[in-house]
Amino acid sequence: MRVLLTGGAGFIGSHVAEAFLRRGDAVAILDNFDPFYDPALKRRNMEEVAASGRVVLHEEDLRDAASLRRIVADERPDVIVHLAAKAGVRPSLEQPALYSEVNVLGTQHLLDAARAAGTPHFVFGSSSSVYGNSPRRPFREDDPADQPVSPYAATKRAGELICRAAVASGGPAVTALRFFTVYGPRQRPEMAIRLFATRILRGEELRLFGSGTSERDYTFVSDIVRGVLRAADTGNSFRVLNLGGVETTRLTDLVRMLGEALDLPVRVRHEKDQPGDVEHTSADLTAVRQSLGWAPEVSLQEGLAHFARWLKAAPRA
């Protein structure tokens, strides 16, 4: 299969690229090495990806519609896996217009290029943040998703909607996957688990926002990768599917388990809630089980142990 993968130099994308390469697919990556976090980390990810097989790199920006058209026409992918985005909830509060440009307009440009080239299938990396502070738990794909609490969440929901419109107007089939907090080796440095682990390793106090009672589904990256590959293999219309973790976990429990995985003591200071953060996420996995035969396999304890081993061995950027 020929795969065009956007965001392949990033955290999740680099793991997805390796998995496609390992099973013998032809992979082209489009990424602009955005400076949201240190691009040197993304260069290192790309070096590791290249060790799994031959990969073509297009260093281009999603906002450049003409380049996207040319690349999609040249690559003639069987599937586009679109993971490039401005990620991160809190920074989106500072730069909402930039998030819209990249995540909404960039996605539209890519869908247009896919339609022009006759690409049959498009997988969109969406997010559990589209559910906002929905009172219904666990979150189901047909729950209302019209009350985002951050610009980032709004751009991900908008991305899903323009995907749906593209399907209705002769574009590719689309699978939108709502990822629930993903963690594992190469995790983005500003994400909570990585940030906390780095502070614990340095013997520093952790700042926990809110009372610590917020809850999340944490999903190990290898589970997400399995879901993305299964989705990439099977799309034929429009579907939205949750990809969530094995167990829903309180923030205070996460921090305790992280200390255990690192085998180090944890000191915590509570601070007031941050705008944009949701109180709870948990995924209903009925639809994805039926549609892709997918369920998460890695427990939080196992995943944190794996992550801790990686972080202790990882070269510092």
CB of 87 to ligand NAD, least distance (A): 4
Q: Which is nearer to ligand NAD, 262 or 283 (CB)?
A: 283
CB of 203 to ligand NAD, least distance (A): 27
Q: Which residues pair with 268 in a beta bridge?
A: 206
What SS3 state is found at 104? helix
d(C-alpha 45, C-alpha 9), whole Å:
6
CB of 283 to ligand NAD, least distance (A): 11
**Which position among 37, 99, 131, 152 bears the catalytic label?**
152
Token pair belonging to 169: 């107007």
Pairing of strands 173-179, 121-127: parallel
Pairing of strands 215-217, 248-250: antiparallel
Token pair belonging to 214: 């917020």
Q: Which is nearer to ligand NAD, 84 or 261 (CB)?
A: 84
Q: Which is nearer to ligand NAD, 33 or 264 (CB)?
A: 33
Q: Which residues pair with 3 in a beta bridge?
A: 27, 79
Residues 6+ apart with CB under 8 A from 74: none
Q: Name the packing angle between helices 11-22 and 221-234 (round to 10°).
A: 60
Token pair belonging to 190: 């500003």
Give residue number: closest CB to ligand NAD: 10
Q: Please check whether residue 66 is in contact with residue 33, taking contact to mean a CB–CB distance below 8 angstroms.
A: no
Please report how many Cα atoms fall inside a 13 Å half-sphere around the Cα of residue 85, on the Cβ side. 32
Q: Name the packing angle between helices 192-201 and 251-262 (round to 10°).
A: 50
CB of 60 to ligand NAD, least distance (A): 7
CB of 156 to ligand NAD, least distance (A): 6
Q: Where are the alpha helices (DSSP H) in the chain?
A: 11-22, 39-50, 65-75, 89-94, 96-100, 106-117, 151-168, 192-201, 221-234, 251-262, 286-292, 300-313
CB of 107 to ligand NAD, least distance (A): 9
Residues at the site binding ligand NAD, with contacts judged by CB under 6 A: 7, 9-13, 31-34, 36, 42, 61-63, 83-87, 102, 106, 125, 127, 179, 181-182, 188
List C-alpha distances in Å: 284 to 77, 92, 146, 170, 225: 31, 27, 18, 30, 18
CB of 163 to ligand NAD, least distance (A): 13
Residues 6+ apart with CB under 8 A from 202: none
Active site residue 37: no
Q: Which is nearer to ligand NAD, 119 or 281 (CB)?
A: 281
Q: Which is nearer to ligand NAD, 63 or 264 (CB)?
A: 63
Eight-class DSSP state of 139: B
Residues serving a catalytic function are 152
